[in-house]
Structure 1
């Protein structure tokens, strides 16, 4: 009888803690982008549709940086990949200084793009990095656990934004000061991580055939895109982040237009929705001990189709509560799709990670479509994410068959 696989090993614990902190860092920046979306509408007088270019700049960086980050990681290793990501993250944050001085929406988008290139690099590296810190059979649990702290960052981001941006004068000075602090903190983290010793890692996705049952050992002769479960994971991730980007981009607008909240109050509710996401990730990590990750993914996607339908009706509090619950059911989707897509990829794991990260570009494209509808009615715009969750539902439902055909 086989022993139950461990979550991780003691020699990996320090590195796991540090890498998990990175999930928190980009959670803060991701949700701050949604606060900036609304702030730029107020201060720089851009429309809802044009303000969606904030998300396009952030998520577009994932498309541009996905493959270069993967190649860098393959050539120089996980640790140097993390350091590159932190360097770009910090540089983008410091570029907010000249952007604020110039009061230029275009300059802000450039700064956000560079910052997001750092986030994309960290995300490309962090997922396979966390997966390698233990047994492959518990990689879903480790990635969901680490991603839960992305949810913590998502809670902190809107609180910081609501207090330091919406809570101050309607100008760009507070934005500049906030990002100076963020840039400095990230630079310190990069310096600290440069002194962390990473133990020798055995990639759990490319272990010897003796370590796992035959169904867990990939065929070495298969090309990357011959793995059907991986290809569908890329597509599912694109639609997943598309739904996330659109939902988050217009959350504060929904609170303002439908619930008649102030921007600051809507921002605090946005933070509450991130609490829901964090709870969902911890709950999902627990449930995966008893329910197959792919089946849980399909169930959560189906729930979100229902939530979006309620939100789109603009019923007031019932619809707004459904909007909060979207994040609960969204919680496990990104890390679970990522982990499922990397299963049985062997030595192609790092390359596969790059393509799944590139799927994040959906978060830049979808808000542009939702923004066109939101200019007329922000509630109606929430019909669109139903399409995304339908794709994720089918991925979860068919994953077991697709994965079997890949090995």
Structure 2
């Protein structure tokens, strides 16, 4: 018997598309999640590298990442409009090619070298990722049963985490490991010639990334992805005029939940290398610390695989609440201890952060029906919360790097609030379904 989805007063029967095999499509989409996770986390090793090359403060360093996440705010709504105009598949290809252009631009920025061009090219790459996010996240959510959407998105997000786990190794060896600043102890002052030489260590890794993106774009373009049914599209256009996104509590509170969670995730990842390099924590070089970053992202991958399985049996909101409590506890340990205990507590937060984004996302679009595309655009726009990592950079400069992680702990409490109350759907509409 097909599941029933509540829509106002009357139940609506949700019927999965007959004869459609979604496994190959999900596998290919998982490769996209892998790639944008990989590219995003290269920034975690790129930022300490750029801090050394351009002699930046923590505030200036985190401002680079803020530019990256401002792209999500700027590009999300145009991305949703583009998807409506050209469809999901062409939008995925376009996003990959935009990212490839940005990666080639990073090679130019390293050759000059130029801080301004670096900011511009990171903005271009992030704009391409935004288009992928707006298209791929809701697509994965609808290619199967609505009640397992959180489980399904956590599963493909686990591949995203595989990319984030490998990226620090890639960056540590090809960026930090090939630079003077990356292989020196904290406080080493580089000559101008050494800084110029270090800047060019970015050329090879971004050349490899650009090539991989172009290949993936060609594969996506030729793959027969199941399309969102035309009947659903017509329904969406008609129904959008009758409903308001702001009548859905789970979306209204979900947008700030994504925004605030991203402050926590990006702050931890971007300041990790500098934090564990401190003498009172682990006293490592940036190259060595970059390798430990792999454990942080590896915890996210393990957590997402585990979360996908757990959510097959337990309510997604309750699982999210438990993970947010765990994240809050380990962040307090990070702030109020020193040495290996503080370092491993910060690493452990990756495990608790693992399910947060995909679970908040699927809870946020639950019951939106024909409003799913717009809701998805708003949730992806909220990824711009990562831009406020500059606030943590300011706190680190003003009150100390370790103390700045109290901001992260506060963010975990909002996620707990969302899980317990804000995620409860109101005015649910019939779910849309992918079709051939």
TM-score (norm. length: structure 1): 0.92
The corresponding residue for 1:215 is: none
* Dislocated runs of 4+, deviation >3 Å: 1-6, 200-208, 218-221, 404-407
Aligned match of 1:372 in 386, 394, 409? Answer: 394
Task: Give the 5 Å matches for 1:104-253.
Answer: 104-170=114-180, 171-202=198-229, 221-253=242-274
* Per-residue deviation, 1:59: 0.9
CA contact (8 A) 1:132 1:202 kept: no
Give me the whole-angstrom Cα distance separating, in 2, the residues matched to 1:259 and 1:39: 19
Q: CA deviation at 1:290?
A: 2.0
Aligned-partner Cα distance in 2 for 1:204–1:61: 32
Correspondences of 1:230-309 after superposition (within 5 Å): 230-257=251-278, 258-309=281-332
RMSD value, Cα: 2.4
CA offset at residue 13 of structure 1? 2.0
- Rg (Cα) greater in structure: 2
Contact 1:294 / 1:399 at 8 angstroms: preserved in 2? no
What CA distance in whole angstroms lies between the structure 2 residues aligned with 1:318 and 1:249?
19
Other structure's SS at 2:336 match: coil
What is aligned with 2:59? 49
Closer, same or farther: CA 220–300 of 1 in aligned 2, 3 Å: farther
Shift in CA distance, 119/9, structure 1 to aligned 2, threshold 3 Å: farther
Give distance in 2, aligned partners of 1:384 and 1:204: 46
Contact 1:205 1:346 in 2 (8 A): no
How many angstroms apart in 2 are the aligned matches of 1:9 and 1:326? 41
> What residue ranges of structure 2 are gaps of 5+ in the alignment?
5-14, 181-197, 430-436
Match of 1:334 in 2: 357
Q: Post-superposition shift, 1:404?
A: 3.9
Tell me the distance in 2 between the aligned counterparts of 1:231 and 1:374: 31
CA deviation map 1:282-306 (0-9, x unaligned): 1111111222101111111111111
Does 2:116 correspond to 1:93?
Answer: no
Query: What is the alpha-carbon distance in structure 2 between the residues aligned to residue 205 and residue 275 of structure 1?
Result: 38
8 Å contact from structure 1 (residues 297, 396) kept in 2: yes
CA displacement 1:5-44 (0-9 Å, x = unmatched): 99x9762222211111000001111111111110011122
How far apart are the structure 2 equivalents of 1:199 and 1:406?
A: 25
Find 1:363's aligned residue among 358, 363, 386.
386
Equivalenced residue count is: 396
Say which SS state the counterpart of residue 31 (structure 2) adopts.
Answer: helix
C-alpha distance in 2, partners of 1:344/1:352? 10
Equivalent of 2:371, from 348, 359, 365? Answer: 348
Contact 1:132–1:204 (Cα < 8 Å) also in 2:
no
User: Following the alignment from structure 1 to structure 2, what is the Cα–Cα distance between the partners of residues 248 and 287?
Assistant: 25
Q: Specify the alignment match of 1:318 in structure 2.
A: 341
Change (3 A) 1:29 1:219: closer
- 1:70/1:230 Cα in 2 relative to 1: closer, same or farther (>3 Å)? same
Structure 1, unpaired ranges of 5+: 209-217
Q: Any idea what the Cα deviations from partners look like across 1:55-97, whole Å, max 9, x if unmatched?
A: 1121111111110111111121110110111011101000012
Equivalent residues in 2 for 1:38-77, closer than 5 Å: 38-77=48-87
Deviation at residue 221 of structure 1 after TM alignment: 3.6
Range with greater deviation from structure 2 (373-382 or 52-61): 373-382
